[in-house]
Amino acid sequence: MSRKAVVIVFPGSNCDQDVAAAFAAATGQQAELVWHTEFSAHQAPLAILPGGFSYGDYLRAGAIAARSPALDALREHHRRGGLVLGICNGFQILTEAGLLPGAFARNHCLHFLSQDVSLRVEANDSPFLADFACGEVIDLPIAHAEGAYQPDQSHPDSDGRVALRYCNQDGAVSAAANPNGAIGNVAGLLDQTGRIFGLMPHPERNADPALGSGHGGRLFRSALQAVSHLG
Amino acid sequence: MAEPGVRVAPAELSVRRRLESALGRAATDTEAAMVSVLWSEHCSYGHSKLALRQFASRGPRVRVGPGENAGVVDIGQGYLLAAKIESHNHPSAVEPVEGAATGLGGIMRDVLATGARPIAFLDALFFGPPGVAADERLAQGVVEGVAHYANAVGVPTVGGEVTVDPAYAQSPLVNAMCVGLLPESHLLPSAARTAGELVVLLGSTTGRDGIAGASFASRDTSQDLGDRPQVQVGDPFRGKLLIEAVQVLVERGLLSGLGDLGAAGITSAAAEMAQRGHRGMTLDLAQVPLREMAMGPAEILLSESQERMLLVIRPQDLPQVLAVAQHFSLAAAAIGQVTARQQFTALLGAQTVADLPVEVLAEGAQLFDLSSLAKPPVVAGRTQPATLAEWARGRLGGWALADRRQVFERYDDRVGLRTTRLPGTGAAWVKVPEALSTLALSVDSRPWLSATRARQAGRELVLEGVRNLAAAGARAIALTDCLNFGDPDQPEVAWSFLETVGGLAEAAAAMAIPVIGGNVSFYNGEGARPILPTPVLGTVGLRADGIPDRVAVDNGRLWLALVGSRAAVGDPWALPDPDYALETEMAEAVIELLTLPFSVAVEDVGDGGLWQAVMEQALRWNLGGHFHTADDQGDGLEAWCAEGGSRYLLVTTDPEQAGDWATGRGVPFCLLGQLAGDQMTCADSRAALWRAPLSQLKDAAQRRFWR
C-alpha cells in the first residue's frame, strides 16, 4: 500500500476536506477521504479523524461517532502499529471511545470560540511532534464549543501524556492563556505508545502560510516522515 | 369545514373569493389554504414586485438573475458564484435561536439549489441596546442561533455587521447572506422542464412545524405570541448531510432541476419549479415521508419542515438518487411527476385534493402599486450635535466602536480554508484558487440615513459597497439586497420603500453593477412603531491581481492620510450629490494604491465619517496621534463627521511617496498625521476640536452587546 494517510469521514464531519487538502499541500502525499463504515485497518499507516460536528454533536460531542464500527477498525489499526491523529471533534471521538483518557466539558465561556492560540510543546517523543523542540511555542487556531479538557480522575496522568498546553506568546502556561478552561491547559494529548495524538487546535487551518503561521504544515510533515517507511 | 391545524382567518376569505373567481368554481379547503399562504406577502411580494422591476439585473457576468433561488455570476476559469441575502426577522423575534438558525439554513439552501457548494456566510444583525433583559436575550439568542447552524454545517462566517439602536428593541433584524461556488457544468435550473420526469423530495421528513409560517411572517408579531409552533426548527446536522448529498447528485449529473423548500413548503417549491419550466406537476401526498401521524393534505403541502429539497430527475435515475440519500441517512421519495399540462394536481392516494392551474398558484397573487399610497414621512431625524466633542461623546457612549470580535469569535470564520482576511476589518476575503481569484464580500446598511433621506441612502449603500470593496482591493461585480421595512400599507413606509429602491436602482445602474437577487421583509416593528427603514446591501467583488494580503510593518512608523474628497455642502448631515464617474475613478485609484509598497491598508470613510475611520485605525494599531484636516474638507464638524463623497483613509509607511503618488494621479490627498502616543486629537486647519486619551477609545471598544 503506497497510500500514506486516510481521513475518516463521519456524518457531520466538516473539516475532512480541509485536512486532506492541507495534508497534501504540506507533504506532497494524498490523504484519501474514507467514509467511516468503509474504513479498515489496512488502508494507510496514518488515520486522521477530522474536526466538525459528527452526528451533530448530539448527545455529547463525539459520543455517537465513538460507537461507529470505524473505531473497532481504528483499534486494530493502532494495534498493528498505525498512527492515529484526532483533530478537535476527532480528539473528542478518541476520548469518547476510550483511546485517549479524559473527557471534554463545555468551554468555560459557554460558547463556541474561534481564535488563534499559542501552544507549548510538552513532549516531542512522538512521531507527530518529532520535528518540534520541547518547550517550543507554536501558533494554531482553535474552533470549538466543548474544549475544556477534564482528566480521568481515577487514573490521573496514568494513561495519557500531555503533548501541547495553551500558553502565552512567551510560553508561559497560565490561566490567562487558557481559552476554554481545560484542566492543566491541556490542548493536545498522546497515548502511552505516542502513536495516538489528539489535539483541539486545527493544524490544517494554518498549514498554508497564506492563512497563518504555517506551523500546522510542520505537524503533518512530521507525521508523514514517521510513516514514510511504513505501508 | 376546515381541516385540523389550518385556520381560515377572515382576511383569507377574500383570497378564497379571488381564487374561486379565477377558477370559476368552488375551491377545496386544501386549495384555499395553499393559496392563502402562497399569495401572502412573504411569498408573493405583492407590495414590492412592481418596484423591484426597476433593478437592472443583466450584465455580461450574470448567469441567473432575480426570481430563482440565488443569483449566479461568472467569475472566470469556468467557475460561477451564487449569492443571495435573505431576512429571518419575525421568527427571530419570537424564538431567536431557532429563528436565526433556520434563517441561515434557508439562505444556504437557496445557494445549494443552484448546484453550488456554499462557501461563506455574512450576517447583518440589528438589536435593541443592552440593558433590557428581553433585548439582551434576543441579541444573544440570535448570535447563538447563527453560530449553531453555520458552524455545524461547516460554512464559514467571514464577515458582517452588528447595529445597536433603540429602533430595533423587541424587533431584531437577522439578515444572512450566503455565497456558493460551482463549476459551470454544475449549474441547475430551479425548474421542471421535461414532462415525465420524476419529482423527488429529499432531506428531512415532513412534520407539522412551521405550517403557514409564511403568512405568519406577513403579520405583526406583537399581536399574537401564541404562534410559537409556527417557528420552524433547524437541524444543521441534516443541513450538512443535505449539502453533501446534493453535491454528490450534482457531480454525478443526476439532477435536471433543483429547488429549495422554504416558505409554503412543497406548494411553493413545486409551483415555482413548474411555472419556470412551463410545465405542471402531479404529486401524491401519500408518498411524502412524514414524521407525524394523521397529517392532512394541506398540512403536508404547506409544512415548512427544514432541510428539504425538491429534485427533478430522469425516471431511470431514481434508484441511484435513493441510494445517495440512503448513504447520507436522508429521507427521499419520488412524490410525483412533471406533466405537460400546466396544472398543479395533488392527490392523496386516489383522491384529488387540489387541482389548480400553475399560473394561478404562482402568479395569481394581487400586486399592489405602492406609489398611489406613498406619502413622504414627517421625520424629525436625530438631533444633531453642534460640536465634534459632543458628536464624539455620543459615539463613544454607544456601540459604534464596540469590538465586533465579541460576536465574530463565536462563529467558525475559517472552515473551508478560504478565509484570507478574518472578520472585523473591512470587506471579507475568500480565496477561490479554482478560479485563480479572491472574492471580496461586504454587507452594508445605513438605517438612520434611510430614515431621513431614503433615496440618498439607497444610492449611498451602493457606493459604500463599491468603496468597501475598493478598500479591499476589489471591484464589485454583483449586488444582492435585503429590504427590511414596516407595514407597506402605511403611506410613510411605502414612500421610504419606493425611494430606497429608486436610489439603489439608480446607483447600481450608474455603476453598472447588476442586482442579482434579494429579499423583502415587511411588517417589521412592534405594534404601531415600525423599525427604521433598513435596506441591507450585500456586495460581491473580485480582488485585483498584485495586491499583497498582508504588508509587514517593520519600524512601526505609520501615518494616516485622507485620499479623495467630498464636496463641502455646508451641512455636515447632508450628502453631496453622487458623482458616479468619480466614484469609479477613485475606486480604480485606490486599487492601484494598494499595490504600492508604502500602502499598509486602506479603509473607506463611511458610517460615522472620518472620525470613525480614524478611531478604528487608532484602535487597530493601539496608537493615538494628532490629526488635522485641510480647509477644503469644510469646517471642522463637516470634515470629521460628514458622510458621502468618495473618500478613503490610507495607512502608509511613507507619507511623502504617498503624496507624490496622489499628485501624479491627480487624486486629492490630505496628510492627517502620524499614529503615535496615547492621546487622540482631532483638529481642523485652525484649532483642535476634540481631545481624548486612547484609553477612552479602548473603553468604548470593550462595550458589550449583552452582559
ipTM, interface predicted TM-score of the complex? 0.95
Residue B702 pLDDT > 90, yes or no? yes
**Domains of chain B (ranges, CATH numbers):** 1-39+188-364 (3.90.650.10), 547-707 (3.90.650.10)
Q: How far is A211 from chain B (nearest CA, A)?
A: 6
pLDDT tens-place string over residues B158-217: 999 999 999 999 999 999 999 999 999 999 999 999 999 999 999 999 998 877 655 555
**Domains of chain A (ranges, CATH numbers):** 5-227 (3.40.50.880)
Residue B391 pLDDT > 50, yes or no? yes
Q: What's residue B493's pLDDT?
A: 92
Contact between B240 and A53 using a beta-carbon 8 Å cutoff:
yes
From the list B151, B237, B417, which residue is nearest A112 (CB)?
Answer: B151
Contact between A210 and B431 using a beta-carbon 8 Å cutoff:
yes
Numbered residues of chain B with Cβ closer than 8 Å to any chain A Cβ: 144, 147, 151-154, 235-238, 240-241, 327-329, 408-417, 419-420, 431, 549
pLDDT tens-place string over residues B3-36: 444 444 455 568 888 899 999 999 999 999 999 8
A79 burial via Cβ count (<10 Å: 0-12, 13-18, 19+): exposed
Q: What Rg do the C-alpha atoms of chain A give, in angstroms? A: 16
Q: Residue B407, CB half-sphere, CA atoms under 13 Å: how many?
A: 32
| Total beta-carbon pairs less than 8 A apart between chain A and chain B | 76
Q: How far, CA to CA in Å, does A40 sit from each of A49, A117, B602? A: 13, 34, 52
pTM equals: 0.94
Least reliable range by pLDDT among A153-162, B132-141, B365-374, B613-622: A153-162
Q: What's residue B7's pLDDT?
A: 44
Print pLDDT tens along chain A (231 aa): 578 999 999 999 999 999 999 999 999 999 999 999 999 998 999 999 999 999 999 999 999 999 999 999 999 999 999 999 999 999 999 999 999 999 999 999 999 999 999 999 999 889 999 999 999 999 999 999 999 999 987 765 556 799 999 999 999 999 999 999 999 999 999 999 999 999 999 999 999 888 888 899 999 999 998 887 765
Residues 21-40 of A with CB under 8 A from B: 21-22, 35
CA dist B657 and A74 (Å) reads 61
Contact (CB, 8 A) for B310 and B296: no
- pLDDT band at B368, cuts 50/70/90? confident
Residues on chain A touching B431 (C-beta within 8 angstroms): 210
DSSP string, B306-338: SSEEEEEE-GGGHHHHHHHHHHTT-EEEEEEEE
CA dist B464 and B453 (Å) reads 15
Q: How many percent of chain B have pLDDT more than 70?
A: 94
Contact (CB, 8 A) for B83 and B68: no
Q: How far is A94 from chain B (nearest CA, A)?
A: 19
H or E segment to which residue B617 belongs: helix B609-621
Q: What's residue B531's pLDDT?
A: 87
Residues on chain A touching B326 (C-beta within 8 angstroms): none
- pLDDT band at B568, cuts 50/70/90? confident
Q: B569 phi and psi, to 5 degrees?
A: -110, 5
Q: B657 phi and psi, to 5 degrees?
A: -65, -40
Residues on chain A touching B549 (C-beta within 8 angstroms): 210
Catalytic annotation on B42? Answer: yes
pLDDT tens-place string over residues B114-161: 999 999 999 999 999 999 999 999 999 999 999 999 999 999 999 999
Contact (CB, 8 A) for B380 and B492: no
Interface probe with B: pick from A9, A13, A14, most Cβ of B within 10 Å: A14
Residues on chain B touching A112 (C-beta within 8 angstroms): 147, 151, 410-412
Residue reference for cell 491581481: B545
Q: How many percent of chain B have pLDDT more than 90?
A: 77
Contact between B152 and A111 using a beta-carbon 8 Å cutoff:
no
Contact (CB, 8 A) for B167 and B484: no
Q: Which three cell numbers stand for residue B193?
A: 422542464
Contact (CB, 8 A) for B523 and B169: no
Q: What's residue A228's pLDDT?
A: 79
Active-site residues of A, by number, are: 88, 202, 204
Q: Mean pLDDT over all residues of chain B?
A: 91
- pLDDT band at B228, cuts 50/70/90? very low
Residue B682 pLDDT > 60, yes or no? yes
Q: What's residue B3's pLDDT?
A: 43
**Is A114 in the B-facing interface, judged by CB distances under 8 Å?**
yes
Instruction: Locate the chain A residue with the closest alpha carbon to B158.
Output: A114
Q: B88 phi and psi, to 5 degrees?
A: -145, 60
Q: What's residue B301's pLDDT?
A: 94
Interface probe with A: pick from B417, B420, B429, most Cβ of A within 10 Å: B417
Residue B351 pLDDT > 90, yes or no? yes
